[in-house]
């Protein structure tokens, strides 16, 4: 058995990373163990707090979260408290600024950014690299793509922006230096943007094609390690505001967030182990005393004083649903509240669309007490020192609400406390 940790966080998505940073920076010896990367690498890299209530777009995400919390006592925002959401957003912004990847927005204004398809997408905090994309701004948009980067569709984005009442057009380029590459991976392109000679060659191609007063949208690959520098340099060379629009996964902006958390955690003395599923645990009956993780060589036990379980929901493998549609939490076997009925069937076939169109569903997840401790079958805390956070919690519909990162940060911060 390894030397003990004050806290072990299982999962390295927004919830787990936030919980770990909160605890480690409060002086707790913290270990993060995760099977792999979480939502950071899949989502937009923005912090959605609450985009919609009952299908209506909200103007003030934090205020709307307070309304939602009082209307739905089982919603994670009701459990964490909306004060926790406000603090978590602030803590997140400060952390990212310290890591050199600043965010804009205060949580009280819904920013409207173009989605990967050119629809208006409400969010609450955005990395500076996306801030000039706010669709409430008047400048026309020129969407720049690369014919050798397949995961981004400038013509479609521009067409949909036009449909939404925004002036937009598309320009296709060939990424300089990659003329013989048919299909560039996003990480390769992001690393190219980190380099000044690439940006210079690109600006030389693009500059003459820009019109006065336009702002320039690129796929969200403007640098992996030097995104701010790339942004400032391109704006200077092009003489126009520049911003990123999300692409298909992997999300470079989300990877920057993960890397920023990872740097901060390691600098504060935390240990981060990615690639190691937690496969077992030990208890003294009341408390979890150790977790077992799987490594290439052998299984390993880690003693701990407390655990934050942030393994995500069904999409991330924190909850599995068997062929009889019985849901199960994977690490502790905790009971899952299937707050949504199974998908309706049409002619005996399941109808996934109906699953998302139901009037008041929420995804299967864990019920927790006021301290975020998962409940056992009797309705009491399963273990005194086990806490849950993020998409693992029941009661929300993050896909429809656009609340994913807000819930993860607020509950991660509370659990880390």
Ligand X SMILES: Cc1cc2nc3c(=O)[nH]c(=O)nc-3n(C[C@H](O)[C@H](O)[C@H](O)COP(=O)(O)OP(=O)(O)OC[C@H]3O[C@@H](n4cnc5c(N)ncnc54)[C@H](O)[C@@H]3O)c2cc1C
Interface residues with ligand X (CB under 6 A) are 10-16, 33-39, 42-43, 277-278, 310-312, 315-318, 330-331, 390-392, 398-399, 404, 408
Q: What's the min distance (Å) between Cβ of 399 and ligand X?
A: 5
Q: Which is nearest to 117 in space by CA: 161, 173, 149? A: 161
Identify the CA nearest to 284 among candidates 388, 392, 386, 374.
386
> What size, in residues, is the chain?
417
Q: Which residues, other chains included, contact 347 with Cβ-Cβ below 8 Å and sequence gap of 6+? A: none
Report in angstroms how near the CB of residue 28 gets to ligand X at its nearest: 19
**Cβ(34)–Cβ(391) below 8 Å:** no
Find, among 278, 257, 250, the residue nearest to 15 by Cα: 257
* Beta carbon of residue 116, minimum distance to ligand X (angstroms, whole number): 11
Question: Residue 161 half-sphere exposure, CB side, CA atoms within 13 Å?
Answer: 30
Which of residues 176 and 249 has its CB atom nearest to ligand X in the complex?
249
Give the integer Cα–Cα distance in Å for 245 and 280: 41
Contact between 386 and 307 under an 8 Å Cβ cutoff? The reply is yes
Nearer to ligand X, 191 or 263 (CB): 263
What's the min distance (Å) between Cβ of 36 and ligand X?
4
Other C-beta atoms lying within 10 Å of the C-beta of residue 48: 23
Q: Nearest approach, Cβ of 314 to ligand X (angstroms)? A: 9
Compare residues 129 and 408 and give the one whose CB is closer to ligand X. 408
Q: How far is the CB of 261 from ligand X (least distance, A)?
A: 11
Torsion of CA 100, 106, 111, 113, to 10 degrees: 10
Q: Give strand ranges (E) for 258-361.
A: 271-274, 278-283, 288-294, 299-309, 319-321, 327-329, 345-346, 349-350
**Long-range CB contacts for residues 162-167, cutoff 8 Å, separation at least 24:** 163/118, 164/118, 164/119, 164/120, 164/135, 166/135, 166/140, 166/141, 167/140, 167/141
Cα(315)–Cα(374) distance, rounded to whole angstroms?
Answer: 19
**Shortest spacing between CB 318 and ligand X, in angstroms:** 5
Q: Which residue, 39 or 45, has its beta carbon nearer to ligand X?
A: 39
193/332 with CB nearer ligand X: 332
Would you say 179 or 322 has its CB closer to ligand X? Answer: 322
User: Are 266 and 272 contacting, i.e. CB atoms less than 8 angstroms apart?
Assistant: yes
d(CA 121, CA 57): 10
List, as one string, the DSSP characters of 375-391: B-TTSSBSSTTEEE-GG
Which is nearer to ligand X, 30 or 35 (by Cβ)? 35
Residue 12 vs 336, nearer CB to ligand X: 12
Output the smallest distance, CB 262 to ligand X, in A: 12
- Closer residue to ligand X (CB): 74 or 205: 74
CB of 247 to ligand X, least distance (A): 14
The encoded tokens of residue 154 equal 């400038």
Nearer to ligand X, 100 or 317 (CB): 317
User: CB 194 → ligand X: shortest distance, Å?
Assistant: 25
């Amino acid at each position: 058995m390894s030397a003990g940790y004050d806290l072990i966080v299982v999962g390295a998505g927004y919830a787990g990373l936030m919980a770990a940073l909160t605890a480690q920076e409060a002086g707790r010896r913290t270990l993060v163990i995760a099977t792999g990367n979480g939502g950071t690498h899949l989502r937009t890299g923005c912090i959605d707090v609450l985009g919609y209530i009952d299908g209506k777009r909200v103007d003030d995400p934090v205020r709307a979260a307070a309304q939602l919390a009082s209307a739905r006592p089982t919603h994670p925002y009701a459990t964490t408290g909306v004060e926790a959401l406000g603090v978590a957003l602030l803590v997140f912004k400060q952390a990212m600024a310290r890591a050199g990847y600043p965010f804009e927005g205060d949580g009280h204004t819904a920013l409207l950014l173009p989605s990967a398809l050119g629809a208006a997408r409400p969010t609450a905090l955005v990395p500076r690299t996306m801030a000039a994309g706010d669709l409430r701004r008047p400048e026309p948009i020129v969407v720049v793509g690369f014919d050798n980067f397949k995961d981004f569709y400038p013509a479609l984005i521009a067409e949909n922006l036009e449909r939404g009442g925004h002036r937009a057009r598309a320009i296709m380029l060939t990424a300089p230096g990659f003329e013989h590459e048919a299909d560039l991976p996003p990480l390769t392109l992001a690393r190219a943007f980190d380099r000044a000679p690439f940006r210079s060659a690109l600006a030389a191609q693009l500059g003459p094609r820009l019109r006065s007063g336009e702002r320039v949208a690129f796929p969200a690959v403007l640098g992996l390690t030097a995104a701010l520098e790339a942004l400032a340099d391109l704006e200077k060379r092009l003489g126009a505001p520049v911003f990123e629009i999300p692409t298909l996964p992997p999300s470079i902006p989300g990877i920057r967030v993960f890397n920023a958390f990872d740097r901060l955690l390691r600098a504060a003395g935390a240990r981060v182990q990615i690639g190691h599923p937690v496969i077992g645990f030990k208890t003294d009956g009341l408390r979890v005393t150790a977790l077992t993780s799987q490594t290439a060589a052998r299984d390993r036990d880690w003693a701990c004083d407390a655990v934050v379980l942030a393994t995500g929901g069904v999409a991330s493998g924190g909850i599995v649903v068997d062929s009889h549609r019985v849901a199960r939490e994977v690490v502790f076997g905790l009971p899952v509240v299937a707050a949504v009925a199974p998908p309706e069937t049409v002619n005996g076939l399941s109808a996934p669309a109906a699953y998302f169109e139901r009037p008041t569903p929420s995804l299967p997840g864990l019920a927790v007490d006021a301290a975020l401790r998962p409940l056992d079958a009797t309705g009491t805390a399963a273990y005194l020192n086990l806490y849950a956070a993020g998409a693992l919690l029941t009661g929300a519909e993050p896909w429809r609400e656009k609340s994913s990162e807000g819930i993860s940060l607020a509950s991660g911060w509370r659990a880390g406390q």
